[in-house]
Amino acid sequence: MEQKNIKVHGMHCASCEQIITKKIAKLPGVKSVSASFASETANVSFDPSQTSIEAMNETLQQYGYSFDTPKGIDHSNSSTFNTSISTNNDSSRANTQFATPITIAVFLAMIWDIGHRFYPTTIPAFPIPMDVFNPISLALSTVFLFWIGRPFLSAPLRFIRYGTAGMDTLVGIGTSVAYLYSALVLLFPTFGRLINAPEGLYFDVTIVVIGFITLGKYLEANAKRRTGDAIKKLLGLQVRTALVLRNGKEQELSIDQVIIGDLVLVRPGMKIPVDGVITEGTSSIDESMLTGEPMPVDKKSGDKVSAGTVNTNGSFTIKATGVGSDTLLAHIIKLVQESQGSKAPIQRLADKISAIFVPTVLVIAGLTLIAWLVIGSQFIPFGSALSLGIICMVGILVIACPCALGLATPTAIIVGVGKGASNGILIKNAEALEKLHRVRALIIDKTGTLTVGKPSVTKIDTQGISENEALSILYSLEKPSEHPLANSIANYAKEKGAVLNSVTNFENLPGRGVHGFIEGKEYAVGGPSLLEELGVSLPEAEDEDNHQTPIFLIQGKNILATVNISDTIKPEAKEAVLALTKAGIRVIMATGDHEGSARHVASQLGIKEYIAKALPADKLEKVKALQAEGLRVAVAGDGVNDAPALAGADVSIAMSTGTDVSIEASDITLLHGDIAKISQAIRLSRLTMRTIKQNLFWAFAYNVIGIPLSAGVLYPFFGLLLSPAFAGMAMAFSSVSVVANSLRLKTKKI
């Protein structure tokens, strides 16, 4: 299966999502598809042996849409992205600049005429005679309907041909009916006399509705572009060239020519072009665009650096480990794009409502026209009933356009995901962002999550031999091992000047320690479990109540040395736990470490619940137990042993400093393993969901109030009728208000 995030052209409204999703989903080999009007993209998962992007494109072109040819995430994307924005914006701006002054002028003329009808003695008659004004209105409305309103005009045609109704369908039918009725009455006076039509024509309705909606869409598009700032900023981080050392010569190459293993020079002030490891030199790196942290990070030989970050002062050389689409930056861009285009459960509910809403509105509008003709004509002349019926039908079709409903969720998701990315919180999908606000319990790993994850030697005690001799034996036995504790002992011994001796018959004892011979003498190094296996008594001073991890050097039945190792608690851990507790989150620490170490870390951080000696299955079992209590559970971890619990959690959080397995199994990744960002992520989720609910409330309230008014339910009693022109203006700006409310998320502190 392949997954692509593809730019879609021709999307005019939120209903376009439904059309695109349904038509693509029917193609063979398509596993899933999710279109987003807010981001104008589609996430498609498909089997390339059964279908292709080209085949999908051919299907969509029948309905007025098209796909961009998919490309990998590279430097061209940035220019393509900006060019697409610029082109679309220029066209929309030209239409808006032409239509807006005319729309405002015609709207004011409508207000003037309405005012004169209600207050004839106070407000004079409109200065332009109707026999002059009406032909001008016909000409202008023709331009508006067939040029500016082409997307709206084509929507009813697609509905007739393919049965696909969208929001533009409502506007298209409404403005077309108003135009055709007015044109028939004006151009064929006999028709007007036959139906006893009133004096008023509705060319102004066509002009004002299309004009205001065009203005609204332009303002909406400008606002939507601001929701994609995170993507644009990330794309702007990509570097086009790199200074590469090849054959002893310094060459400036296109970033596409850099390969893994190349030595790349980075000078002060330059952006790092590729992922790599420093081989020579030191510097401070500004990683704020990836992590949200303002302070530069000191880097030296052996440290990893990421593409897109900025070298602040020193010069250094890196060995490329990730280029092109394999860099962390490219991964983040892809992740954000896919996440912004994904749909939360609450959005899928809105989509279902929209899919039912549009055809329902068409039925309501038709029934309203019939009701005016059948019932209204019994009380007023048939021509007046027909005229009012048309006005009411057009008003319903215009006011009911659920653009605001369609934009309510995706715009908030886009801003929320973008804000998370700019603060070092990578959210893989919208569902995770929604679920996170309901989390009430967090199971958090100790080593590498709450602690630094780099154990260090704190103390060494010897019996019968000198410390230097013990360190040399430990150094020789632990150096071949890849265990983190063994590495810490070997590094400590090396720093103390220990001598490295030859080891014969070396044996790694998984989960217990190491064994080998030095100068014909047999030694073993390991923890309490190895002592038990060898039948050696555990020293009383080194029981499991000690928060440090003891490692023993053993010869026969004798303990020659005891090394105490401790993992440092992260500086931000205590404050992070406190923030989570204040947010109403039940924090449970789960670790494979012994009781004493677990108890010590928990007490230091104020964690009341913890599980020691926890195997991967134990962590997963705790997740299931909490879920059985009715709690939404999040799991935060960084190791392979955390993967089962991460997969079983409602929301999974991984440290970017951890293993690839844990990152792949998680919904959210915290850059640089900063656990303080867990509470920030929860707050971001709550703010995003609050914004979505606000948007949905106003979108529904707008339609609930507007449709009955447009149908004319108050007209028989109070003479009140919502003009289609006012309906068009209100509909247009309701969409803008929803997007603007979503953009408020950018200003919120998390």
> Which residues does the annotation mark as catalytic?
445
In sequence order, the β-bridge partners of residue 637 are: 654
For residues 565 and 209, what is the distance between their CA atoms, to the nearest angstrom? 74
Look at residues 425, 436, 449, 454 and name the one whose alpha carbon lies nearest to residue 589.
Answer: 449
Helical H segments across 188-327, by residue range: 189-194, 203-227, 229-236, 288-291
Report how far apart the first and last C-alpha atoms of the chain are (Å, whole number): 37
Q: By C-alpha distance, which of 385, 401, 367, 19 is closest to 174? A: 401
Is residue 680 within 8 Å of residue 423, measured between CB atoms?
yes
Distance CA 227, CA 407 (A): 12
654 touches 635 (CB < 8 A): no
Q: How far is CA 676 from the centre of its chain?
A: 20
| Residue 55 to residue 70: CA distance in whole angstroms | 13
Residue 195, both tokens = 């139906």
- Alpha-helix runs per DSSP H in 375-429: 382-399, 403-422
3-state secondary structure of 242: strand
What CA–CA distances, in Å, run from 102 to 115, 172, 210, 398?
20, 20, 11, 20
Decide if 495 contacts 512 (C-beta within 8 A). no
**Separation CA 576–CA 570 (nearest Å):** 10
**Other CB atoms within 10 Å distance of the CB of residue 24:** 24
Q: Determine the Cα–Cα distance for residues 304 and 289; give it in Å rounded to an integer.
A: 16
Q: Residue 629: is it exposed, middle or buried by C-beta count within 10 angstroms (0-12/13-18/19+)?
A: exposed
Residue that the structure tokens 């068009």 belong to: 728
CB 689 within 8 A of CB 370: no
Structure tokens at 78: 């940035």
> CA–CA separation, 170 vs 546, rounded Å?
73
Cβ neighbours around 103 below 10 Å, total: 27
Token pair belonging to 180: 């055709």
Q: How far is CA 327 from the centre of its chain?
A: 19
Chain Cα centroid distance, residue 542:
49
* R_g (Cα) of the chain, nearest Å: 34
Q: What is the DSSP letter of 200?
A: -
Q: Which residue has the tokens 């199971």?
A: 443
> In this structure, what is the dihedral angle of CA atoms 682, 572, 233, 313, given to the nearest 10 degrees?
180
Residue whose C-alpha is closest to residue 17's, from 358, 351, 421, 321: 351
| Coil/strand/helix, residue 106 | helix
d(CA 355, CA 273): 46
- Helix (H), strand (E) at residue 602: helix 595-605
